[in-house]
Amino acid sequence: MSEYRKAFVDFFTSLKLTVVLLALSIVLVFWATIAQVKLGVWGVQEQFFQTFFVLQKIPGTEIPVPVFPGGYFIGGLLLINLIATHIHHFKFTWGKSGIQLTHLGLIILLLGELFTGLWQEDYSLRLDEGQTKNYSESFRDQELAIIDTTSPDYDDVVVIPDNVLAKRGEVQHPALPFRVVIREFFPNATPQTRGQAPNDVIPPVTMGFGKDFTVVPLPLTYRQDQANLSAAVVELIGPQGSLGTWLLSAHPFVRPQSFEYDGRTFALSLRHTRNYKPFSLTLLELRHDVYPGTEIPKNFSSRVRLTTPDGHEDREVLIYMNNPLRYAGLTFYQYQMDSANGYSVLQVVRNPSWLLPYISCVLMMLGLSIQFGISLFRFIAKRRAAA
Amino acid sequence: MRLIRASSIALGSVLLLASCREAKVESYRVPKEAIPPSPLDLASGMSGSDMASTPVPTASGAGLTWTAPSNWAAQPGTPMRKAGYKIAAANGTAELTVTAFPGDVGGDLANVNRWRNQLQLPPLSAGELPASIQTVATGAMEFKLTEINGGAQSTLSAWVMHDGSSWFFKLTGDTSVVAAEKPAFLAFLQTIKAE
């Protein structure tokens, strides 16, 4: 083994590295806990844990610089450190089987956290009483939907996600008879009457809602009780030239904006990213029970009908606290409710790796029991021998 | 060597998995959905005759509470207003709107000039601004107050920063009604406190 390779292996299999990483992770968790006051859960996850580095802007500029290793960096190195040590030193003995099982549990726990970060989908499904929906909506991600509404039976939809809108530039899609040029994009902005805005930063808009309204860009919010509502200015350009420029906003009061082109009817809508399902849910009844004589909530529940187009499923389900609906790999939890306005919000979660933390805990528990058991039996045997 | 390979595979897989998450432009067909009414229909119905006085959607977060005088008739809430009151007198009418939104909306000069513009008055310069703003301290908070007389119509507006949002209490209407309601408006400010 060459000197370099030895140094490399020594580094990744070193116990010192483990201790340093654990110390760094303590600092990271402490810092993130303090930062959560301002940033909220989403912000902290994004800026501290689901990132390789914690970035901070140089004061007075917009230039971000890494100031501390992030969750992916520390967790990734810990994982490599753990696996590398096992590969390098692994030698199965019964005496160490407990420790090895515990470490396997730890590896699975770290992998589970990584897979959850990468694969978990978390959406919301808001239903008014009597309403049927076959899609859920992202809590944070937004998209520009260009909907061909010409057919009386169906809508053809082209969606451009907000990460593409943020790059501005052009989008050309075979299903569209025009190019979409993104002139401006604001990740958080609020609509305002045109002419009343203190500093109107929006390029001229020729069509729809933007003729009378503009938007005021706002700083991104990470608070859980606030939403970032994006806005964009897009120009559509066909073979004969520009069709016009539209201002779009994801604010709930801004509805899809329709226009005609080439004998077809289209609608433009900036909305929370939709995730369509092969089944529908209808909200039949919502209940908000309180303890008698008080305003203290006792129960929130939504009675929904689950149906599939092929008629295989048609059943009623009662969703309430700790009793979610599990269907098609998704879990529907009771999330929010407004009985006065007659709507209920379900949280829709898909987490393919949800079992891993349980498997990991069982393995670690088994490993520790075996290890303590072995030590205990050795100790008893020694005492017997001494006696 | 085995170790280097294993580490590279682990890192490579993480990056590959991460790249799978990137959303892309896509198309699909869905059963017909009804398109809600046009935005301008909604917008015009949203805040009655005075859209300009409620320029932005409400801020969320911690709110304020208040007690309005009994002769102010509460108006139905709208998506852009925290509250609205109609004041009808023998010699005219006035309306009080309560709006809140994140940040300072461009600062005091921009706000005052926006209200002046609504009364067809020329804008103030930055130098003239301080003279037009008074401070009203209540037990709980400190408001800024401006009074703009536009002839037939006037505006009496108070605002305060609370929990990162600007809260505006704006009384607009016939000058005689606004003048008559000023003492009630100042008493109303005294009742405003954090939720």
DSSP B25-64: -EEEEEE--PPPPPHHHHHHHHSTT-GGGS-SPPP-SS-E
Mean pLDDT of chain A: 88
Q: Across the interface, do B103 and A76 touch by the CB < 8 Å criterion?
A: no
B19 or A16: which leads in pLDDT: A16
Write out chain B residues lying below 8 Å of A76, CB-based. 10-11, 14
Of A12, A157, A223, the CB nearest to B61: A223
CA-CA distance, B23 to A272, in Å (whole number)?
A: 13
DSSP tag of A19 = H
CA-CA distance, A372 to A377, in Å (whole number)?
A: 9
Q: Which residue in A254, A255, A296, A272 sits closest to A348, CA to CA?
A: A272
For residue B78, give every residue at least 6 positions away whose Cβ sits within 8 Å of its Cβ, in sequence order, or none. B46, B47, B54, B84
Q: Which regions in chain B score pLDDT beneath 50?
A: 37-60
A328 or A340: which leads in pLDDT: A328
Exposure string (b/e) for A363-374, b if CB count within 10 Å is 16 or more?
bbebbeebbeeb
Nearest-CA distance from B145 to chain A in Å?
A: 19
Average of pLDDT values for A140-166? 93
A367/A337 same-domain check: no
pLDDT at residue B163 in the model = 79
Quick check: A268 and A144 in contact, CB under 8 A? yes
pLDDT at residue A288 in the model = 84
CA-CA distance, A234 to A243, in Å (whole number)?
A: 11
Of A154, A158, A218, the CB nearest to B31: A154
pLDDT at residue A199 in the model = 58
Q: Across the interface, do B6 and A87 touch by the CB < 8 Å criterion?
A: yes
pLDDT at residue B18 in the model = 55
Could you give all domains of chain B from N- to C-terminal order, each with its CATH number? 50-194 (3.40.1000)
A246/A319 same-domain check: no
pLDDT digit string, tens, across residues A101-140? 998 999 899 889 888 888 888 899 999 888 899 999 998 8
Q: Across the interface, do A213 and B7 touch by the CB < 8 Å criterion?
A: no
Q: Choose the weakest-confidence range: A68-77, A152-161, B135-144.
A: B135-144
pLDDT digit string, tens, across residues B76-125? 665 556 788 889 888 888 999 888 776 666 678 878 888 888 888 888 88
CA dihedral B71, B75, B81, B83 (to 10 degrees): 40
Average of pLDDT values for A150-171? 92
Average of pLDDT values for A196-209? 69
CA-CA distance, A193 to A204, in Å (whole number)?
A: 14
A265/A283 same-domain check: no
Closest-CA residue in chain B for A225? B61
A256/A285 same-domain check: no
pLDDT at residue A68 in the model = 94
pTM listed for this prediction: 0.62
Q: Across the interface, do B3 and A226 touch by the CB < 8 Å criterion?
A: no
Backbone angles phi, psi at A279, to 5 degrees: -150, 165
Last residue of a domain, one of A276, A304, A329: A276
- For tokens 């930063």, the residue is A201
Q: How many domains does chain A have?
A: 3
A264/A286 same-domain check: no
Residue A287 has pLDDT above 70, yes or no: yes
Residue A381 has pLDDT above 80, yes or no: yes
Of A192, A223, A258, the CB nearest to B35: A258
A169/A262 same-domain check: yes
> How many CA atoms lie less than 13 Å away from A21 in the CB half-sphere?
21
Nearest-CA distance from A254 to chain B in Å?
A: 5
Expressed as residue numbers, the domain containing A192 is 136-276
A116/A22 same-domain check: yes
Two structure tokens written together for A197? 């805005």
Q: What ipTM, to 2 d.p.?
A: 0.73
A152/A257 same-domain check: yes
A13/A33 same-domain check: yes
A253/A301 same-domain check: no
pLDDT at residue B16 in the model = 57
pLDDT at residue B71 in the model = 85
Query: In chain A, positions 128-147, which contact chain B (CB-CB < 8 Å)?
Result: 134-135, 141, 143
A271/A144 same-domain check: yes
Query: In chain B, positions 95-154, which contact chain A (CB-CB < 8 Å)?
Result: 101-103, 105-107, 110-111, 114, 117
Last residue of a domain, one of A220, A241, A276: A276
A187/A304 same-domain check: no
Average of pLDDT values for A81-85? 88
Q: Choose the weakest-confidence range: A169-173, A235-239, B45-49, B184-188.
A: B45-49
pLDDT at residue B33 in the model = 78
pLDDT at residue B37 in the model = 45
pLDDT digit string, tens, across residues A354-376? 889 999 999 999 999 999 999 99
Q: Which residue in A343, A346, A344, A313 sits closest to A331, CA to CA?
A: A346
